[in-house]
Amino acid sequence: MNHCRLQTAVRLKASNNLFVMKEVRQKENICCWESPANIALVKYWGKKGDQIPANPSISLTLKKSVTKTTLSWPKKDVGRSMGLKYFFNRERHKAFEDKIISFMEELRSYFPFIDDYQFEVQSLNTFPHSAGIASSASSMSAFVLCLLSMEEKVINRRLSKDDFLKRASFLSRLGSGSACRSVYPYAALWGRDDIILAGDDQYASALCDIDPIFKSYQNSILVIDSTPKSTSSRQGHRLMDNHPYASIRYERARKHCREIIHAMRDKDLTTFIEIVEKEALELHGLMMTSDPSYILLKPNSLELMVRIRNFRQDSGTPVCFTLDAGPNIHLLYPRSYKKKVEEFIKNELLKFTAGGLWISDEIGSGPIKHY
Ligand code: PMV
């Protein structure tokens, strides 16, 4: 499977901002990337060591749900230890700061020069924290992309676009498994399989051979509950270690990856829908059948799933649902059905959401480098 080309674009700023942009670039010790969240079609659930997945997974890259990160690195005073300040939405955020500092420790062997610098990270998400969109994929990948841009400037390391992305994916994986898929446009594959030869456990790759209809896909995220989860994804992955259905699950995930790759290439929306919904339900089935068992779905998650299936059957609209490790519902459908599905959402689904909260996102072309 070949890699898609890096779809970066330096966004043109309004003319009154150009001067500021030039100033910033001249400083040389600052860079800024935005990187998107992704939604898995075939789920990564269960891992070994430092995010080596127990099975291959496939995701769609989102467009509007992004983390925008600015990294600056003044030279530090001699003798002081590497320091990092992390600001989230312009406010110092100690919990994220500690997480990024320990990630930096892990990355030291890949970026030996980091000990010579102090760091300031300014980060913000375009999606609300309460929306139930996992922000670790977008935030970890945005941070890693900044480190790679820093590496280019500081030690003049030049990589081809494909190698740059592969390295970004590999390093993002060390921060958060699913983050490795966020660096690619449209659709990504991550994880080894004897039949899908492009899959690798260490990094993801772009899934390029897909029908253009999937590049137009919409992702409407309906927030059912925005309170913190009772069981984290980290605990959930760990519970797969002794899960009674682990080996069956991993085999099924491999099968689903192979099938969905064909369905996406051949524009087989019926198979696509079948696999996507099966995967979402299996993920939550694994949670319910783990030891100890836990449930992240809410009654309204089920209500929406049933309504979406009924709507699909009655109207012939190729819309399906998927879920992350949480109760919120992601609707997936081609852009040509946007008006129809949004009407359905407003008329029939929003009353089951938390305060009518929903996000209208779509599939996007991957990270954007601002400077
Ligand atoms: O990357 P993590 O450790 O947050 O795990 C992600 C797990 C799921 O979102 C449930 C599935 C996936 O493949 O993204």
The 10s digit of each residue's pLDDT in 18-46 is 444 444 555 689 999 999 999 999 999 99
Note the Cα 323 to chain centre separation in Å: 13
Residue 133 has pLDDT above 90, yes or no: no
Give the amino acid at 363.
I
pLDDT at 18: 43
Question: Does residue 53 have its Cβ closer than 6 Å to ligand 1?
Answer: no
Residue 8 has pLDDT above 60, yes or no: no
Residue 13 has pLDDT above 60, yes or no: no
Q: How much is the average pLDDT of 298-308? A: 98
Ligand 1 center–CA 176 separation, angstroms: 8
Q: 3-class DSSP state for residue 72?
A: strand
Ligand 1 center–CA 247 separation, angstroms: 18
Question: Does residue 69 have its Cβ closer than 6 Å to ligand 1?
Answer: no
- Under the banding of pLDDT at 50, 70 and 90, the label for residue 147 is very high
pLDDT at 27: 64
Question: Does residue 178 have its Cβ closer than 6 Å to ligand 1?
Answer: yes
Q: Which two tokens stand for residue 25?
A: 């670039």
Q: 3-class DSSP state for residue 19?
A: helix
Ligand 1 center–CA 178 separation, angstroms: 5
Q: How much is the average pLDDT of 160-185? A: 97
Residue 177 CA: nearest ligand 1 atom is: 1
For residue 77, with 0-12 CB atoms within 10 Å meaning exposed, 13-18 middle and 19 or more buried, which class applies? exposed
pLDDT at 320: 98
Q: How much is the average pLDDT of 63-91? A: 88
Residue given tokens 């009407």 in the structure block: 343
Ligand 1 center–CA 45 separation, angstroms: 7
Residue 137 CA: nearest ligand 1 atom is: 1
- Under the banding of pLDDT at 50, 70 and 90, the label for residue 196 is confident
Q: How much is the average pLDDT of 289-295? A: 97
Residue 63 has pLDDT above 70, yes or no: yes
Question: Does residue 65 have its Cβ closer than 6 Å to ligand 1?
Answer: no
Per-residue pLDDT of 315-366, as tens digits, reads 999 999 999 999 999 999 999 999 999 999 999 999 999 999 999 999 999 9
- Under the banding of pLDDT at 50, 70 and 90, the label for residue 15 is very low
Pocket residue to mutate for ligand 1, from 38, 39, 41, 43, most atoms within 8 A of Cβ: 43
Question: Does residue 334 have its Cβ closer than 6 Å to ligand 1?
Answer: no
Question: Does residue 323 have its Cβ closer than 6 Å to ligand 1?
Answer: no
Residue 6 has pLDDT above 80, yes or no: no
Q: How much is the average pLDDT of 294-312? A: 98
Q: Which two tokens stand for residue 67?
A: 């983390």
What is the chain's mean pLDDT, rounded? 91
Residue 51 CA: nearest ligand 1 atom is: 3
Residue 1 has pLDDT above 50, yes or no: no
Residue 214 has pLDDT above 90, yes or no: yes
As a whole-number percent, the residues of the chain with pLDDT over 90 amount to 83
Ligand 1 center–CA 203 separation, angstroms: 14
Per-residue pLDDT of 229-251, as tens digits, reads 889 999 999 999 999 999 999 99
Q: 3-class DSSP state for residue 28?
A: coil
Question: Does residue 40 have its Cβ closer than 6 Å to ligand 1?
Answer: yes
Q: Give the closest residue to 220 by CA, choosing from 129, 344, 118.
A: 344
pLDDT at 131: 72
pLDDT at 315: 98
- Under the banding of pLDDT at 50, 70 and 90, the label for residue 3 is very low
Q: How much is the average pLDDT of 51-68? A: 97
Give the C-alpha separation, 351 to 288, whole Å: 26
Give the C-alpha separation, 71 to 246, whole Å: 40
Alpha-carbon distances of 362 from 94, 309, 332, rounded to whole Å: 32, 21, 9
DSSP 134: -
pLDDT at 128: 81
Give the C-alpha separation, 147 to 102, whole Å: 15
- Under the banding of pLDDT at 50, 70 and 90, the label for residue 80 is low
